Every structure is written in structure tokens, then in C-alpha cells.
Chain A
Amino acid sequence: MKKRDDVLVGIVMAVAIIVAILGSLWLARGGLSKGYALYAKFPWSSGLKQGQPVLLAGVNVGYVDQVELRQDGTVLTTFRVGKNYKVPQGTIATVIPNGIFGDMAIALTPKRPNPLSIPANDTIPVGPSAPGIAELTSKGDSIATSVNSITTALNKELVASGGVADLRKTLASSNALMLSMNRLVAEFSSVAAEQNRQLTMTQVSLRKATSGVDSAKIDSTLKNVRQTSENFAVLSADFKQTSAKLDSVIAKVNSGTGSVGLALNDPGAYNDVRSLIAHMDSIMVDLKKNPRRYINLKIF
């Protein structure tokens, strides 16, 4: 009986101790395996504590093993990653809120898939941390303060200084204005209807007048006008051609080439003509003086 007591007590104690150790290990680090160590230097007040989870692309792969406060404004964090997980090179470590109770976690975010992995005991570069619950709460507080000041100001302007009453008066005036506008629009509508009726009548009269015109005559007139226009075009072309020819002749005359050009432009020819005329004048004078020299008329 005594031996049985010893065995039973021993079994219960052993089971309890094993449960306590294994349970603590599982809750703290997810299993018996310690994993390999990696390091990251986060700024102060990052909120990290031992045992917090490490997430690789959102998957829980390890836990924070040690947090060492340094005087250079950083917290050297040692975290352990399970041996079956590889952290790709180019990964950035950030501190992110984990849940709504202010707990934090380390998020390892790879830039892209990379077959090369960060070796054990290496330091991972740190990225900007996401705002925590405290920061969000502080921002929420400042927003609430701003909203409060706005509502206070509105209360002062609208209620205390009679702004609401003014607003009501303005609304009543606007309502009266709208009624007047409605009446005006109704009057405009009646005027427009009358105008429309007059225009319709004018259109009918015009349609009647146009129906009296002989369309065949208009058609032939239009044909004649078109023919005349074509003739004018031909005449214009001929005239242009003649003008061009005349231009070339005048140019030739001006240039002094050809007989007409020479006659008009050569001073020698001009002098010859003058001497000829002078010679003819002397012959005519001599003829008047001595006709018999030139005219020897014998009748019989």
C-alpha cells in the first residue's frame, strides 16, 4: 500500500511538472525547439517584451527572446525563428500592434521572394513602426478635443449669439423669395407660350408663301447661273493666258531684243530715222525748187 502511494504520488507530481514545463514552453515559444537567433535594433519605446510573437509575412514563426535597453536610443532585440523557417534577404523588421490590448509583435516583411536567406545571428534592418494603440488613442483624443472646440464655437455662434434665429429668418426670407421666383417663372412661362404660338403662326404663313414659288423656274435659273459662272471661269482662264503672253511680249520689248525692241530702244536707229527724215526734208525742199530735176515730164 505504501509503495503504491509512492508511485501514485510520483506519477501525479511528474505529470504536473511536465505539463507545467511543456505548457509554458508552448505558450511562450510555440514548442520545444528554440530556433535560431536574429537581431534587430528598434528605437526606444517600441513596446517589445520577451515572449512576444515574431511574424514572417503574417505567419507566426518565432518569439522575442531578449530585449536589451541601450544608451544610444535603441533596444537591441534578440528574437528566435523556428529552424524550419528561412527569412529571405532584403527583409525589414518592424514593430506592429498585436491585438487591441496594446500588445506588440515583430513583423518581418520580405520585399520580394528571395532564395537567399538571412543567416543565423545576423541583424535585420529596421523599418518604420506602425502606430500603437497609445498613439492612436492620443490622436483620437486630439480629434475629440478639436471636435469639442468646434461644437463649442458653433454653440457660441449659433445659440448664444442668436445665430440660429438669424438662420431661421434667412430661411423664411429665402422661402418668400422662392415663392416670388415661382410666380415670376409662371409669368415667363405664359409669355413664352404666347411667343411660341406667334412663331408657329409665322412659320405656317412662310410655308404657305414658299409653296407658291415655281420650283422648275428656280431650277432652270440656277442652271443658267451655274453655266454663266462656268463661262466666266473659262473667259477668266483665257484672259489670264493672254495677259501672260502680253507680259512676255512687253518684257521682250523692254529688254530690247527683236526688231520692235531694237526700234524702240536702239538710239542709233532713232538717229538714223532722224537723219533720214532730215534728208527727206532736204530732198523735198530741193524738189520744190527744182522739180525738173526729179520730174521730167514730156507730153509730146
Chain B
Amino acid sequence: MRDIGRALGDPKTYAAETVRQMRNIGVDSLPLAAIVAAFIGAVTAIQTRYQLFGGVQLSVVGLISRQSIILELGPLLTGLVLTGRVGARITAEIGTMRVTEQIDALETLAYDPIGYLVVPRLLAAIIMIPMLTILANAIGVGTAFVTAIFATDVTSTAFSEGLRLAFGPFQIVYSIIKATIFGAAIAFFCSYEGYNTTAGAEGVGRSTAQAVVVTSVAILVLDALTAILLAPYLQA
């Protein structure tokens, strides 16, 4: 953490690499995040509709779909999916550089390996994963809307009414805060595992698997902590 703080003071080291990592982490992950969000939105709408007991107004489908996707499923599933795609890649890249002594070469050439390898990935993840989460939320709510209208008896008016019921802008902020924390966790834990890889190619595989597991668990724990800390503000 101290090395990261120190490296952040030299933007020339990581600026160019950060944009490239933003492309890798953000733009290239967009199709996967969109597919996951679309299916989650559709399933949420259908499940919600058929769990309702008689007499409950159908606008509840819109309300529950919005709350589920924006507050929980959008950031959490985007984080978990990107742990597999982005986190594993980060660990593998840095781990391979470690076992092939490229990091040692960087240090020999007076490059700061943290500033050149970890900080760009960390910044890229912190910036792009919230962006992906926003788009995933929009796609999830959109597919929930379309699915509810075409696959169930919920009307567009009822769904829209539920979508807008008791909405506060902090819900969007809450989702972005979660996504930012998850992005930081993915980049940090995966970079750490890669940076500390040992024992050749086998060690890279082991580090990658361990990074995915540790990051996934960390995301779930951070999700719970975020909910405990910030959920009261949602009610206010």
C-alpha cells in the first residue's frame, strides 16, 4: 500500500499504461458484463412476477427489479465476472513477469514496477468497473423492462411506475461506490498475488487460481460491509 502511494506521485510512469489498461479492463469487458446483466435483468423480472401473491400490484415487479439490479446484482455480478476475466489476467500477467524476471529487469532499469504494473491496473479498475456497472445496471433494468412486458402480464405503465417508485439518486451513488470498491479489490488482490508469484509456471497458475478465489471472497465480504455501512442512508 505504501509503495502504491509512493508510485502515485509519479504520473508519467503510469499515465499511458493506465489508458491501455482501461481499454483492457473496461472496453473489452463490456460485452461480457452486458450479457451477464441482460440475463440477470430478465430472470429477475420473471422471478419477481411469479413470486408475487394475489392482490399485489404489478408495479412491484419494476420496483424489485430496479432495487435488485441497481443495489445488488449489477455491481456484485459485474465484480465477480470481472474477477474471472480481469483479475485472472492481471495475476497471470504480473506473475509471468515475476517468474520470467521481467520485474527484476524493470528494477534494474530504474523503473518502479509498482508504478508501471500495479498502479495503472488499479486506476483502470477503479475508474472502469464503475462505468461498466452503470452500463450493466442500465442494460439489466432495460432487459427486465422488456422481459416483464413481453413475457409476463406486467404493462409498461405499471413497470415504469414501479421503477420510479421511491427512487433516490443515492441509489445510483451506492451502486457506484460498491463498484469502485470491488474494482479496487480486484486490482489490488490480483496484482498482489501476481507480484508475489513464485515457482515458475505452476506458481503462476496457482497464484491466478488463488487470486480469483481470494478476490471473489473479498468482494462478497466487502459487499456485506458496504451494505451494513451504507444501507441506512438508502432508507433516509
A binding-site residues for B, Cβ under 8 Å: 2, 5-6, 8-9, 12-13, 15-17, 19-20, 23-24, 26-28, 30, 49-53, 60, 98-101, 103
Question: Which stretch in B53-61, B146-154, B217-225 binds the other chain?
Answer: B53-61
Partner of B163, one of A27, A51, A98: A27
Contact yes or no, B166 A50, CB < 8 A? no
Contact yes or no, A103 B166, CB < 8 A? yes
B105 within 8 A of A: no
Determine the residue in chain A with the shortest Cβ distance to B172: A24
Contact yes or no, A19 B134, CB < 8 A? yes
- Assembled-state Cα–Cα distance A23/B135 (Å): 10
Contact yes or no, B172 A23, CB < 8 A? yes
B binding-site residues for A, Cβ under 8 Å: 16, 19-20, 22-23, 26-27, 30, 56-57, 59-60, 63, 66, 127-128, 130-132, 134-135, 137-138, 141, 161, 163-169, 172, 176
Determine the residue in chain A with the shortest Cβ distance to B141: A23
- Assembled-state Cα–Cα distance A103/B138 (Å): 24
Known: A23-B138, A100-B56. 4 other contacts (CB 8 A): A2-B16, A5-B19, A16-B135, A49-B166
- Assembled-state Cα–Cα distance A5/B131 (Å): 16
Partner of B131, one of A6, A12, A98: A12
Pick the 7 closest A-B CB pairs, nearest first: A16-B131, A5-B23, A27-B167, A16-B134, A103-B166, A9-B22, A8-B27
User: For B22, what are the chain A residues with a Cβ–Cβ distance below 8 Å?
Assistant: 5, 9
User: For A50, what are the chain B residues with a Cβ–Cβ distance below 8 Å?
Assistant: 168
User: For B176, what are the chain A residues with a Cβ–Cβ distance below 8 Å?
Assistant: 20
Tell me if B's interface is mostly helix, strand, loop or mixed.
Answer: helix
Contact yes or no, B19 A15, CB < 8 A? no
User: For A60, what are the chain B residues with a Cβ–Cβ distance below 8 Å?
Assistant: 161, 164
- Assembled-state Cα–Cα distance A101/B22 (Å): 41
Partner of B166, one of A17, A26, A101: A101
Contact yes or no, B27 A12, CB < 8 A? yes
- Assembled-state Cα–Cα distance A100/B59 (Å): 11
Contact yes or no, B135 A15, CB < 8 A? yes
- Assembled-state Cα–Cα distance A43/B134 (Å): 38
User: For B132, what are the chain A residues with a Cβ–Cβ distance below 8 Å?
Assistant: 16
- Assembled-state Cα–Cα distance A17/B130 (Å): 10
Contacts A12-B128, A103-B165 given; indicate if A5 touches B20 (C-beta within 8 A). Answer: yes
Partner of A2, one of B19, B163, B169: B19
- Assembled-state Cα–Cα distance A26/B166 (Å): 13
Contact yes or no, A99 B57, CB < 8 A? yes
User: For B57, what are the chain A residues with a Cβ–Cβ distance below 8 Å?
Assistant: 99-100
CB distance from B171 to the nearest CB of A (A): 8
List 15 A-B pairs, Cβ < 8 Å: A2-B16, A12-B26, A12-B27, A12-B135, A16-B130, A20-B176, A23-B138, A23-B172, A27-B164, A28-B167, A50-B168, A60-B164, A99-B60, A99-B63, A100-B57
